[in-house]
Each structure stands twice: as structure tokens, then as C-alpha cells.
A and B are shown apart, each in its own frame.
Chain A
Amino acid sequence: MKRWWSPLFLWPLLGACSDPLHDDAVDALGPEQAGVRKGPYHRPGQPCLTCHGGEGPAGFEMSLAGTVYAHAGSNAGLANVIVRVVDADHRTYETRTNCAGNFWVPASDFQPVYPLRAAVTYGTRSRVMLTPVHREGSCSACHAAEPGPNTPGRVWVLADSISAPVQTCPRGEGGD
């Protein structure tokens, strides 16, 4: 007799391979913002590596990523900010924020050896991160929106006295 039903026994094993903590972290991010598709402009301020850290669901894997804001307490991401990191092996990687303030380091390009140091520069203005990063690739995992005892607040680059250019992102860009 053909045991056509035997693969059914594998289903519980497949289910056992998922990580409920990771699944919960992905679910906690909520839906996409209205009018912004998955892609380089989506979800500013969220912990990018939750989905892009290699465990999915996003296919494009990043080793570091985040969002840089114009001012402390601002909700406006700032474009053309240069983000520089130097890892424990003294290797430097440099990238630039897009119109949403988002930046990322493709995992295929650079896998930092921790601890690493980071700095952001906009024009002639720079801010250097006070402490090294020891393990977390998502900036917003530590840099939450509101400053508090467990977070210094968002990554920002300009003093309040310096105005930031008004910028908009093209809508409907795809990619995952």
C-alpha cells in the first residue's frame, strides 16, 4: 500500500523550525505605512534587521541599518547624511542616507567585526556615537523615538538652530 499520507507527519517538524520570538518581533512591527511600498523608503525608524537580519522574511540581508533624523525629536529623516562605521579590525564602511533618512549596509558587502564605532556627517556637521556598538546591527534597537533610561533617542545630526531641507521620497518604489 502506498503511504501517501506519510508526508503529513513532517508538518509538525517543519513548524518546530520557526522561531516564535522572531515571529513575534516581526509581527510587532505592524503593517506597512499607507502609500509606501516595501523597499528602500519603507519603515524609517524601525529595527531593520528584524526582517533583514538573515532570519527573514525579507530576502535582502543587511549587516547594519538605520534611520538618521535631521534634529533631535524630529520625525523627518534626512537625506545625504554620510554614515561611517569603523570595526574592530579598523575596516571602514561608508554609506549615505536616502530621502527617508534610511541607510543600510548589505551583508554581502561588509560584515563588521564588533565592537564598531559610528559617526554621521551632514555637510560640515558631524556627530560621533558616544559608545561602541557591540552586537546590534539595527540602530533603532537602542535609538528609540523617545529618549528615556534605556535609549538616548533617535540618531540625529543637526542642531535645532540649523534648518534641514524639505525633501520627499518618490512613492511606489518596490523591492524587498
Chain B
Amino acid sequence: MTSARRLAFSLAGTLLAASACSGGTGIDSEELREPSSRDFAPVAETLVLHCGTLDCHGMAGRNLRLYGASGQRLDPKDVPGGRETTAAEVLADYRSTIGLEPEVLAEVFASRGAGPERLTLIRKARGTENHKGNKPFPKDSNGDKCLVSFVAGAVDVASCNNSKADP
């Protein structure tokens, strides 16, 4: 086989492999819907307060990575304990939260919050799955209602706000 023919075969093989990969997981990305970011600010506030300290999810190395006034800051000029949580930090928290298990979140969201424990976020918060931070939001607590309402698509702002006073 000539080197030109060998190169042609090699290119054809590469193109074939690339086209096979483009099929992805078979999940139609158009079908992945997630709760809106519009009402996430009170949810972010709850998460940052109870989960986002510098020794927990206020760390760059965590999957659930939170930014806010009492934890790590998004703007390198800000410091923990400084100015209030910014809109950019709320958006970063939202992206981090919905990016944990997007497919499962889409399913829970589509079923209007039914079976929220399908989400690791909820199981860890409730302490039904091993969690170094124990159970910050026991089932039916204000924090739990706040999170569950978010994944259902209708944020319970009162529960989120009430969770601020919880230990």
C-alpha cells in the first residue's frame, strides 16, 4: 500500500470515528429542562449560609461549588465576610447546582418535584446519603423545603428565608 493510500485510509477512519462519537449519549439535549435561574437568589442564600463555608462547599475543588458573602468569592477583589453576595455569584451557584446531575434534575423537574431524593443534592442535604457535613437540611425543614421547591420549579421563598434562622 502506498503511503498516500495509507493516509487516505487513516483519514477516513478518523472521520468515521468522529461521526460515531457525535451521536453522544443518545439524550436529546433539547429535552433537558432545568429550573429557572430567575428565582434562585433565596436558594443561593440558603445554600451559601448552610453549606458554603470555606471548609466545605466554599472551596474551588468541590463538585457543588458555592460562592457568596460568607464563603469564597467569585471576584478576586472580594473577601469572605465582605460585601453581600453578588448577582454573578448567585448565577455561579445556580450553574453549579444544576450541573451536578443534569439528567436526573431534568427528570425531577419534569415530574414537578416528585421523588426529589433521586437527586444526590437532596439526599446529601437530608443526610440520607453519607455526607461529611451531616444533614444540614433534614426532611421537611425550611432548608429542605427551599431546595425541593427549587427542583420542582417553584421556589418557596418563605422557607428559604426562614432557613436563615435555623442552626
Enumerate chain A interface residues (CB-CB to B < 8 A). 88, 114-115, 130-136, 141-142, 147-153
Contact = CB atoms under 8 A, between A and B. Distances in A.
Given A135-B132, A135-B133, A148 B70 contact: no
Contacts of A141: 55
Nearest to B51: A134
**Which 5 residue pairs of A and B lie closest in terms of their CB atoms, listed nearest first?**
A136-B55, A149-B73, A142-B54, A134-B56, A152-B80
A147 B56 CA distance: 18
B95 to A, nearest CB: 17
B30 interface: no
Interface in B19-75: 53-56, 58-60, 70-75
Interface in B120-163: 132-134
Interface in B69-87: 70-81
Size range of the chain B interface in the assembly:
20 to 34
A135 B81 CA distance: 19
Contacts of A134: 53, 55-56, 132-133
28 contacts: A130-B70, A130-B81, A131-B80, A132-B53, A133-B55, A134-B53, A134-B56, A134-B133, A135-B55, A135-B56, A135-B132, A136-B54, A142-B55, A147-B79, A148-B76, A149-B72, A149-B74, A149-B79, A149-B80, A150-B54, A150-B58, A150-B59, A150-B60, A150-B73, A151-B54, A151-B79, A151-B80, A153-B79
B79 A148 contact: yes
> Which of B58, B71, B73, B80: most chain A CB closer than 10 A?
B80
Contacts of B60: 150
Nearest to A135: B55
A147 B78 CA distance: 9
A90 to B, nearest CB: 10
B79 A152 contact: yes
Contacts of A152: 79-81
A94 to B, nearest CB: 21
A24 to B, nearest CB: 15
A148 B73 CA distance: 8
Contacts of A132: 53
Nearest to A132: B53
A21 to B, nearest CB: 12
A114 B133 CA distance: 8
A135 B53 CA distance: 10
Nearest to A138: B55
Contacts of A88: 134, 167
B66 to A, nearest CB: 12
